[in-house]
Amino acid sequence: MFSLKGKTAIITGANTGLGQAMCVALSKAGANIVGVARREMDDTEKLVKQNGTEFYPVIADLGTTEPIERIIKDAVNRFGRIDILVNNAGIIRREDAIDYSENDWDDVVNINLKTLYFLSQAAAKQFVKQKSGGKIINIASMLSYQGGIRVPAYTASKHAVMGATKAMANEWAKYNINVNAIAPGYMATNNTEQLRNDTKRYNEILERIPAGRWGEPSDIGGTVVFLASSAADYIHGFTIAVDGGWLSR
């Protein structure tokens, strides 16, 4: 039920952190991986190949929608089909809301929302063409539920990711396409480095996490495998929090 043997998964932001961890988890379940990132993914490729599956790197800047057609085409050319898309790539810019710049707003929303949507659309078209359904997994956030501090564009984009997940699920379920999302809690990744270096904020966050620790990228692995597998065939439009209990506090 949880096997992904013979499946092909595209994961964006595959070079480090959550993206790398999800590549490893999906490959352990049997999937071949198409990793997408702005820079080389040698470490991710090595970890995936240790699991006995294949890794195909696609270098692309997702700050615009321009690479989308190439990503899908290259994946299909390499593996013959795609079965899973994980929209993980994202950025965060921190600034007081009253001083937040239009440039920062556009950069964050373009990567976190616009490219996510149109890459999902392109994958869905390929799934329909293949007539075999597929899985789309979007990476949301605790700030899909909350307002946050000094991250207005990130918060807006992650609220929208949850909404777009529901909207896509409503229309594409009839094609046997499952669209769901994962909302990671506070994870030790590049995106949170600045926050973790702020001792006061780090401890404030830690005190609220029932699990008593920040998450590690590997903590998301089981959930992404579940949503990518046939075990989740009747789950549509839902966002699963992997947060150490943060939202329940």
Q: How do residues 150-207 score in pLDDT, each as one tens digit?
A: 999 999 999 999 999 999 999 999 999 999 999 999 999 887 888 899 999 999 999 9
Contact 100, 153 (CB under 8 A): yes
What pLDDT shows up at residue 96?
Answer: 98
- Choosing from 154, 175, 186, 202, the catalytic residue is 154
Q: What is the pLDDT of residue 193?
A: 87
- Measured CA to CA, the distance from residue 86 to residue 249 in angstroms comes to 28
Question: Could you tell me the two tokens for 35?
Answer: 């990793």
154 noted as active-site residue = yes
DSSP secondary-structure letter at 147? -
For 17: left if phi > 0, alpha if psi spans -120 to 50, otherwise beta; the answer is: left
User: Which amino acid type is present at position 166?
Assistant: K
pLDDT of residue 195: 86
pLDDT of residue 104: 98
Regions of the chain with pLDDT less than 50? none
H or E segment at 136? strand 134-139
Sheet with 32-37, side-by-side order of all strands: 55-59, 32-37, 8-12, 84-87, 134-139, 177-184, 239-242
Can you read off the two tokens belonging to residue 3? 């096997």
